[in-house]
Structure 1
């Protein structure tokens, strides 16, 4: 039988080393996963680029109408470039892509090996696949989600079949079982200790504790909003475009004010917008792409515009199920993919050992040990509230982790700076997580120094710290900071920072002015709250 190109690649390698005739048994799973994830990345790059192009048109439309836009012109200029799309696609390929590949690999392997390629089993698998395709379109036809759930499993299944060893000896199942056992050991240690703060602790105590991890964190926050924009519902998006078609000038002005209050920004003469609103008799009709989505009375709209927009958003949200796929994949498939890649690299580095079984055992144990070792700095913290004396002692500790946990505790209570003089010291040696949590703790501080410290944090070199300073300024309702926030939105080159600045600006009661003639920083743009 002629070998496939993928098989030939492995066979060529094995031919040089006769002792490693079963090498494909050990590289089979990671190779099959990499093929599927790489294919999904190509697809998701196109998905993100298409979303970016649509966002670019929206930003251009709103900017021409005189609105303050996020992202600003510095970021918008790159929206039609392939670089941000390629980088942003990692969010999907390493989550939903990995999840779809893992399910496809498992189903294909079970069908071929456990059930002997039985036709009935194949029909059952195809039935589940059909249900998946139906669910991603149940809230409305979704071309890109369908493509992801169609193409990714197909290529993953092809890679699995192409790389599956013809002569599956005991070593094949032994290696696969041992590899999975290592991952399950890590899960067994992590599951009881995981909580809502697990990802934050990984960021603070692992990623931001070394230069490589810091670069990974910067990359994530630099490009995460590009893919996020793909599958957000309208009420999750920061800015939306709208067009009002009402004959009564007074009613039209009132409706536009309600729209601007919810960031559905009216653009005169625009045709391609997120929301068209028209009036038929005493009914207001909300449309998208010439399709009627929702009807309501004028009275109901005036009474509860937020509820009307939420209903409209829900009815136009056709990414809901795919978001669930992405979240489940983030929790299960993404950690498995990371474990698999690290274990494979360690296995390859142990090439001086001639025994493949020894290499599998050692690489799995080393990888499992690394995963369990993360519990030392990341393990769950006590749920009991710290006493003021305990917080003070931890703030003065030489242990970086203790200081971070103390600052996190302070962020959950009103902060009295006078009790903790160490916080007012101009300490340039504070780590990024310490500056981040201190900025958050200042949100509820009664100290007269809090505002000055937060304004200084706006100049911090790390975007996470700047974002938290903006959040705290907005939480403190410091309306005098509105001008600084607008300046950041207009001039900062980091989309994530702009996003936080706009959210904080809105929390101050600021609303987009009615037209390009409006002064963005004028008191009239600030509504009382």
Structure 2
């Protein structure tokens, strides 16, 4: 029976190692961001996060919580990949020399893909090493048997069968709205889920900043070394409009721009990245800055690993852990095969139950009468389903009743979608409702209200947004506020 819990032991070791390693990775990223934002603030610009949140970048707690995100995504993905490679190798060979060559090749591959960015290489490389060591340590010492008769092969096939059933039920219901539906129906509909959701949105930007490319960052620092004042002002205005904010020359800025022989030389981390004519830059600054960001982005491959792990490996790990927990609870069943089957059946019920909550019961071509009937329903899920159709089809709100009441509902998803549909209306009443939702205690609702204000393109909202951005203690809300300001045409002023 011990061979059954072998994967769980390896996964725990790998994820625990990733948690420790990526917490350090996020911490040093946070410290770097703190110094950048402090320099930008000293230069007279508005910064996000604001003064209430900025000091948290120097603390270990947010870094540790941010490490949880990487541990359960990137760490889990690297652990599962390592587990499979080592297990297959160990099954057919007891010699480790060839496997060391595979790991050496993997280390070289990561170094190249990460542009020799040492913190990323160490975090990922040491996670792989820890998972590999755990796989060797916990690999069950079973009598040799061939092919399908080997217990690990039987275990693998049994897990695949259960996973196949779960996927068969989930895949037809999975669409672009799936993650939003998970949040609405699984997280925001119960106290435990709300705490998980609050944790995610409170700490998600700490790890996110650690692997953003330059153009994905909200604020960037720059130094402009141009002698001609008129030209300096033109370049400065162009950069500020794109949130590249000039700082003191004694700071190690994200981008340094030097003028030389009627050309601009762009440097990053002390290296020359690009050189082009002054007018060429001023004619197409977005293209130039995107090119610089692309050339200096070491985290593109890490973002791919993280995304693939999030949608594929994290659910797999959750299934393995739950299955093992249930197996432990069914200790009174002596034989592992019926115990496995019973645990598998319970896992199918747990993992596929939520799938039946997904999908909109209303057709996208639903009539106004059907939508109004759903809006008046006693079930909040029906009301939210109607709001989703209205938002998706951008239907005029004056044709529907009950939106104002839904904006004041005690149900969080209902307020969230009410805030979202209000962004398509230009009526003064809609504007007033959105302003009221800006102070909603639930961050997701406040963020969507800010998004809708930006969507309305009403410049009179700028003072209200600035006030909320400067007073909020929630980084995610501030981030949405800044994005809304930019959509309204607001620009930083020194």
- TM-score > 0.5 by shorter chain: yes
**What is residue 473 of structure 2 aligned with on the other side?**
493
For residue 171 of structure 1, report the CA deviation from its aligned partner. Answer: 4.8
Change (3 A) 1:227 1:87: same
Q: Which moved more, 1:456-465 or 1:142-151?
A: 142-151
Q: Which moved more, 1:463-472 or 1:406-415?
A: 406-415
What pairs with 1:185-264 in structure 2 (closer than 5 Å)?
185-264=165-244
Q: 1:81 aligns with which of 47, 51, 59?
A: 59
1:95 aligns with 2:70: no
Q: 2:41 aligns with which of 32, 40, 63?
A: 63
Q: Is the 8 A contact 2:25 2:120 kept in 1?
A: no
**What is residue 141 of structure 2 aligned with on the other side?**
166
For residue 28 of structure 1, report the CA deviation from its aligned partner. Answer: 1.0
Q: 1:132 aligns with which of 109, 129, 140?
A: 109
What's the CA shift string for 1:167-223, capped at 9, x where partnerless?
258554433432332223212222232111111111111111111111111111111
For residue 478 of structure 1, report the CA deviation from its aligned partner. Answer: 1.6
Q: Is the 8 A contact 2:368 2:400 kept in 1?
A: no
What's the CA shift string for 1:454-504, capped at 9, x where partnerless?
001011110000000000001111211111111122110000000000000
For residue 144 of structure 1, report the CA deviation from its aligned partner. Answer: 2.0
For residue 127 of structure 1, report the CA deviation from its aligned partner. Answer: 6.7
Q: 1:150 aligns with which of 111, 125, 135?
A: 125
Q: 1:46 aligns with which of 11, 24, 35?
A: 24
Q: Which moved more, 1:348-357 or 1:307-316?
A: 348-357
Q: Which whole-Å CA distance do the structure 2 matches of 1:430 and 1:281 have between them?
A: 64
Q: Which whole-Å CA distance do the structure 2 matches of 1:75 and 1:188 have between them?
A: 44
For residue 128 of structure 1, report the CA deviation from its aligned partner. Answer: 5.5
Q: Is the 8 A contact 1:193 1:379 kept in 2?
A: yes
**What is residue 445 of structure 1 aligned with on the other side?**
425
Change (3 A) 1:304 1:414: same
Q: Which whole-Å CA distance do the structure 2 matches of 1:300 and 1:267 have between them?
A: 24
For residue 428 of structure 1, report the CA deviation from its aligned partner. Answer: 4.2
Q: Which whole-Å CA distance do the structure 2 matches of 1:381 and 1:70 have between them?
A: 40
Q: Which whole-Å CA distance do the structure 2 matches of 1:310 and 1:381 have between them?
A: 42
For residue 301 of structure 1, report the CA deviation from its aligned partner. Answer: 1.2
Q: Which moved more, 1:153-162 or 1:268-277?
A: 268-277
What pairs with 1:34-433 in structure 2 (closer than 5 Å)?
34-113=12-91, 115-117=92-94, 122=99, 125-126=102-103, 129-130=106-107, 132-137=109-114, 140-167=115-142, 171-379=151-359, 384-425=364-405, 428-433=408-413
Q: Which moved more, 1:161-170 or 1:378-387?
A: 378-387
Q: Which whole-Å CA distance do the structure 2 matches of 1:134 and 1:454 have between them?
A: 48
Q: Which whole-Å CA distance do the structure 2 matches of 1:427 and 1:297 have between them?
A: 53
**What is residue 11 of structure 1 aligned with on the other side?**
none
Q: Is the 8 A contact 1:415 1:446 kept in 2?
A: no
Q: Is the 8 A contact 1:193 1:380 kept in 2?
A: no
Q: Which whole-Å CA distance do the structure 2 matches of 1:319 and 1:46 have between them?
A: 16
Q: Is the 8 A contact 2:419 2:445 kept in 1?
A: yes
The 3-state SS of whatever aligns with 1:241 is: strand
The 3-state SS of whatever aligns with 1:488 is: helix
Change (3 A) 1:270 1:196: farther
Number of residues paired by the alignment?
489
Gaps of 5+ in 1: 1-21, 516-529
The 3-state SS of whatever aligns with 2:224 is: strand
Q: Which moved more, 1:426-435 or 1:313-322?
A: 426-435
The 3-state SS of whatever aligns with 2:423 is: helix
Q: Which whole-Å CA distance do the structure 2 matches of 1:455 and 1:391 have between them?
A: 25
Aligned-pair RMSD on alpha carbons? 2.0
For residue 39 of structure 1, report the CA deviation from its aligned partner. Answer: 0.2
Q: Which moved more, 1:48-57 or 1:317-326?
A: 317-326
Change (3 A) 1:299 1:427: closer
Q: Which whole-Å CA distance do the structure 2 matches of 1:55 and 1:26 have between them?
A: 44
TM-score of the aligned structures, taking structure 1 as reference length: 0.88
Q: Which whole-Å CA distance do the structure 1 matches of 2:455 and 2:478 have between them?
A: 16
For residue 284 of structure 1, report the CA deviation from its aligned partner. Answer: 0.4
TM-score of the aligned structures, taking structure 2 as reference length: 0.94
The 3-state SS of whatever aligns with 1:35 is: helix
Gaps of 5+ in 2: none
For residue 75 of structure 1, report the CA deviation from its aligned partner. Answer: 0.9
Q: Is the 8 A contact 1:243 1:270 kept in 2?
A: no
The 3-state SS of whatever aligns with 2:377 is: coil
Change (3 A) 1:351 1:119: closer
Q: Which whole-Å CA distance do the structure 1 matches of 2:363 and 2:128 have between them?
A: 42
Q: Is the 8 A contact 2:319 2:347 kept in 1?
A: yes
Q: Is the 8 A contact 1:179 1:360 kept in 2?
A: no
